[in-house]
A and B are shown apart, each in its own frame.
Chain A
Amino acid sequence: MNMAASKSGRGLLWTSFWLLVVFLYAPILVLGVFSFNDRDIVSFPWQGFTTRWYEGLFDNQQILDALRTSAWIALVASIITTVLAIPAAIALQRRRFRGKAVASGFMLAPLVVPLVVLGTAMLLLFNYIGIPFGPITLIIAHVIIALPFAILTLTPRLERIPVAIEEASRDLGAGALTTFRAITLPLLAPAVVSAFLIVYVISFDEIVLASFLAGTTTTFPLYVFSQLRLPRQLPQIPAVAVIVLAVSTMLVVSAEVLRARSDRLLGEGQLRVDEDDTATVVGAPLGAGGSM
């Protein structure tokens, strides 16, 4: 007998789940439909199937420039964020130090602070110091808001790497840096890639800070934003939207699948109580030392 829900309860919950999935994905499908609609404006009725909006994208300089700008800003932001997030995660997960709570608070706070506050704050800073608004200010800002996500992606993975193997490496003669390079980093790698991809998508899509700090640079979200304020949309927008959504979905999904798969290699390291109610430690082929 299922403890969590009755048969009708289960039916109800599954229905609400699928309804939610429809709710979440319907707009995207709608965009998809309109991207193939042979009509000069984005609306009904359906006037036939066409791929000309997709083809037309390659001639639309504005869209291409915006995409390109966002793409490389996201790339730089991802690299910087990942490079900063690795030591941050290690320090927070493995080390104790005075002021750790404060440091942790500082690094993770951007998760809850309203973006309008962040935008304002950095606007003031850059004005005061005299940094011109553009890609550089955007990259700096994106790193700030993406860092918590990167740290939160790396930390669970780090928890699964038992401290014991790093100690073993030291015991066998490797210095701290070598241990990191030869042991920790390779084991961390899938989470690093995952974090990189998530940060990339966050940066690529970021609009609020961009509206404060972009100066004359047009990122893709800023372009879409300007388009949205027009009464009618160019039909190329749904087309590019579908492409961007598809690509970012693929990136996010691969990030997650990668992480899940490699987590299995590392062993789940958790207590599993199976059918016979005997408790066994699952996996952990690299040693169950660590976080048990």
Chain B
Amino acid sequence: MNDGPAISLRGITKTFGDVVAVDDISLEIPEGEFLTLLGPSGCGKTTTMRMIAGFEDPTAGAIYLRGEDVVGVPPNKREVNMCFQHYALFPHMDVDENIAYGLKLKKVPRDERARRVQEMLELVGLAGYGARRPGQLSGGQQQRIALARALVNRPAALLLDEPLGALDVKLRLQMRLELKRIQHELGTTFVFVTHDQEEALSMSDRIAVMNHGVIEQLGAPRDVYEHPESPFVADFVGVLNALELRIDEVTGDDAIMRVSDTERVVVPVAGTGVTAGSTVLAAVRPERITVTSIGDGTTSLLKGRVEQVVYLGTLTQFHVQTSLGRRVIAHRLSDDGAARITQGDEVSLTWAREDGSILRVG
């Protein structure tokens, strides 16, 4: 068994004419990891994946699959398989033939082929569907067949290109769990591409957040969400309040901005070099903010007027115009207290100092 990473990208760059789609990316993906490339359209995540698969060759840099340099090796000779966004099932073959396609090319004997196809169909929960044609299957079923077709070849890694995008919400949520289960059962390395941050957060071992061809942050979901390292990451992953603050005083590890006699914002600034007089961009997640009708605060305290209440079922979202001169979004579980706060009410917003972080100094 291989000790090193399943996939290793070193200094990968890809340009299309003048456009730099991928800009000097390096990434090591260990065996068995579920890694997601997350980012908006045009960030280079799909291009990166296609380079791993072999449909594009990098303009510069090296790609190693289980230690082997594969740049220049055509896709049909690489030990990775791809699950395409719109499934790309062969319409003129039935399900069995689709799944067996790769096995046949590897000259796997008929009996073993049939056995492995059957195994896969059971794994994805579609046993008995072997004789059907892709056209007869629903979107969700086609998705699972595409998965089976790729996985039956026991690839070193499975590349999934926004596979859940075409499914409706309930099915999508179901498939997320399915994919995780299958990945755990097989132990295959999964490289998942998506622009849906919820998907990324719920499924990944690690997330690489990409923007304009670079990886802005690489880390476990919790880290990426709770401690975003750049304004882009903070904004892309989850909802974020980005507050521009002029620091009045730095005490120990805390920077304080006095907003008014009764209001102040406190942010931890250890190691950031922030001093009195600096301007910083601080971030705090909406669900970390407690919304209460006017009362006493603990550490950070802001007052404001509710401009809009958005009921989201589990959560209620409050858009509050604050004395900072900007809107702050706060989430609160939809309990009775939340239901009592309406548009136009004066509220106070409080959060613990650890829940704020510095995005940018200056």
- By a beta-carbon cutoff of 8 Å, the part of chain A in contact with chain B is 1, 3, 273, 275-279
Asked if B85 is at the interface (CB within 8 A of a chain A CB), the reply is yes
Contact partner of B42 (CB less than 8 A), chosen from A1, A273, A276, A279, is: A276
Other A-B pairs, 18, CB within 8 Å; known A276-B41, A278-B41: A1-B54, A1-B55, A1-B57, A1-B74, A1-B75, A3-B55, A273-B86, A275-B16, A275-B42, A275-B46, A275-B47, A276-B43, A276-B45, A276-B47, A278-B162, A278-B195, A279-B85, A279-B86
A277–B57 Cα gap in the complex (Å)? 17
Asked if B96 is at the interface (CB within 8 A of a chain A CB), the reply is no
A169–B57 Cα gap in the complex (Å)? 52
Q: Which residue of B lies closest to A274 (CB)?
A: B41
Verify B46–A276 contact, CB threshold 8 A.
yes
Q: Which residues of B contact A278 (CB under 8 A)?
A: 41, 162, 195
Instruction: List 18 A-B pairs, Cβ < 8 Å.
Output: A1-B54, A1-B55, A1-B57, A1-B74, A1-B75, A3-B55, A273-B85, A273-B86, A275-B21, A275-B46, A276-B43, A276-B46, A276-B47, A277-B46, A277-B162, A278-B162, A279-B85, A279-B86
Verify A277–B55 contact, CB threshold 8 A.
no
Chain B contacts with A in 79-130, Cβ cutoff 8 A: 85-86
Q: Which residues of A contact B43 (CB under 8 A)?
A: 276
Q: Which residue of A lies closest to B74 (CB)?
A: A1
Q: Which residue of A lies closest to B56 (CB)?
A: A1
A107–B325 Cα gap in the complex (Å)? 72
Q: Which residue of A lies closest to B50 (CB)?
A: A277
A278–B45 Cα gap in the complex (Å)? 11
Chain A proximity of B299: nearest CB distance (Å):
42
A277–B43 Cα gap in the complex (Å)? 12
A250–B167 Cα gap in the complex (Å)? 49
Chain A proximity of B58: nearest CB distance (Å):
12
Chain B contacts with A in 20-52, Cβ cutoff 8 A: 21, 41-43, 45-47
A276–B212 Cα gap in the complex (Å)? 12
Q: Which residues of A contact B162 (CB under 8 A)?
A: 277-278
Chain B contacts with A in 135-178, Cβ cutoff 8 A: 161-162, 165
A275–B16 Cα gap in the complex (Å)? 11
Question: Which of A1, A3, A276 is most buried by chain B, counting CB atoms within 10 A of its CB?
Answer: A276
Q: Which residues of B contact A273 (CB under 8 A)?
A: 85-86
Question: Which of A1, A3, A277, A279 is most buried by chain B, counting CB atoms within 10 A of its CB?
Answer: A277
A277–B162 Cα gap in the complex (Å)? 8
Chain A proximity of B150: nearest CB distance (Å):
16
Q: Which residues of B contact A1 (CB under 8 A)?
A: 54-57, 74-75
Shortest beta-carbon contacts, A-B, top 10: A277-B46, A276-B41, A276-B46, A278-B41, A277-B85, A276-B42, A1-B74, A277-B161, A1-B55, A277-B162
A19–B134 Cα gap in the complex (Å)? 40
Q: Which residues of A contact B56 (CB under 8 A)?
A: 1
A3–B84 Cα gap in the complex (Å)? 15
Q: Which residue of B lies closest to A6 (CB)?
A: B74
Q: Which residue of A lies closest to B43 (CB)?
A: A276
Chain B proximity of A277: nearest CB distance (Å):
5
A233–B52 Cα gap in the complex (Å)? 66
Chain A proximity of B143: nearest CB distance (Å):
15
A275–B22 Cα gap in the complex (Å)? 13
Chain A proximity of B55: nearest CB distance (Å):
6
Q: Which residues of A contact B42 (CB under 8 A)?
A: 275-276
